[in-house]
Amino acid sequence: MRRHRSNLGTLLHHVHVSGPLSRAALAERMGVNRSTIHGLTAELAAAGLVREEPPTGTTGAGRPSFVVVPESQRVSVLAFDVAVDRLTAARVGLGGPILDRRQVARSRAGADLDTVVRELAGMGRELLDAAPAGTTVAGIGASYCGMIRPGDGMVRYGPEMGWVDQAFGTELERALGIGLPVAVGNEAHLGALAEYTRGAGVGSPDLIYLHGDVGVGGGILVGGKPLGGEGGYGAEVGHMLVNPVGGRPCLCGSAGCLEAEAGEYAILEAAGRAGEFGREAVRAVARDAEAGHLAAAAAVAGIGDWLGIGVANLINLFNPSVVIFGGVLREIYEVAAPEVESRIAQHAMPVSRERAKLRVSGLADDATLLGAADRGFAALLHNPLKVE
């Protein structure tokens, strides 16, 4: 039964990632014939996971083919996103649409585990109460701005929130109490996967995603697979030392880390906004810089220099096909691209950078949330009908 289970999951994965696909397209992608697709689709349809719709027109290339459509409104997951300045919960449908969402802003950094879990669980219950009758919840995923232990979703270290070894995954699971585990991932790891699946990194298996929150997170794909390392804690880009002599102190206890030089505190301070907080304050600096305000422009250029050094190092180390700027780094990069590119030209080896593209996130503030949703869908996609 393993091959059958695997084919069911592969078909569902294709429509989850690509949206509606004709039987012919699925047959080609999966290397099986159309009658196999027909049989698999019938099973998935009987389980309420997909439906078939008649073709809307002829393509000129052979007879028209029925279209397999994910049941996005009926089949969903709960996805949570813990950022320093904002908690988000959403119900995300098969295929990726955000069906419903709750969000609370926070006015300052830091909140304890109990508070965060209580707020998330409350939003999660609201989403479930508001879901139409007949909706299924296939899983739960969560994104957190810190280092996450694979398996149980323990936050090993989240300096921006001041968390060390907090049992986030198990506590959120308990608080939700709907009998489903919570798959937790680091926000930038999840953002990298989401950008690869349906954002600015589609087709780029050697991908670096930089996520600007209070700190600078990193998610790296090597040959299409997340760089985890020995314990799953890889890609801590924000704590790469870039300024060893007289660097700014970092929340991690070191100084001169990339996120100390190019993170939120550095940006706001350089722009004369020390004491302000959160992504909207950082975006205001980027807008001011674009509008020609001198202090803001100088601040963003300075940040761009450090960011460019960090990216140059990553290009030398990973020879990526694409580097994606996400979170508030999206807006920072849009203004500081000249400084970033100049540093890359200066410090990245020509052979290493000759085909590396720089892009902004295609999913904007939803990259991490959509990555969390995909964690929630993983079990369903692995074994859609729970076939043994």
Binding site for its own copies (CB under 8 A): 147, 156-157, 206, 218, 220, 222-223, 225, 227-237, 239-245, 252, 254, 257, 309, 312-314, 316-321, 346-352, 354-356
* Residue bearing tokens 């999913």: 363
CB of 318 to its own copies, least distance (A): 5
110/231 with CB nearer its own copies: 231
212/308 with CB nearer its own copies: 308
CA distance from start to end of the chain: 7
Rounded CA separation 290/265 (Å)? 20
CB of 159 to its own copies, least distance (A): 9
Pairing of strands 182-186, 322-327: unpaired
CB of 370 to its own copies, least distance (A): 24
For residue 313, which of 271, 250, 356 has the smallest C-alpha distance? 356
299/312 with CB nearer its own copies: 312
180/240 with CB nearer its own copies: 240
257/380 with CB nearer its own copies: 257
CB of 85 to its own copies, least distance (A): 22
For residue 31, which of 7, 60, 62, 61 has the smallest C-alpha distance? 7
CB of 204 to its own copies, least distance (A): 8
CB of 275 to its own copies, least distance (A): 28
220, exposed or middle or buried, with CB in 10 Å at 0-12, 13-18, 19+? buried
Give the count of beta carbons closer than 10 Å to the beta carbon of residue 108: 9
- Going edge to edge, which strands form the sheet with 322-327? 225-226, 216-222, 207-212, 322-327, 357-360
Rounded CA separation 184/168 (Å)? 8
CB of 385 to its own copies, least distance (A): 29
CB of 231 to its own copies, least distance (A): 6
Rounded CA separation 287/360 (Å)? 16
CB of 153 to its own copies, least distance (A): 14
15, exposed or middle or buried, with CB in 10 Å at 0-12, 13-18, 19+? buried
CB of 228 to its own copies, least distance (A): 7
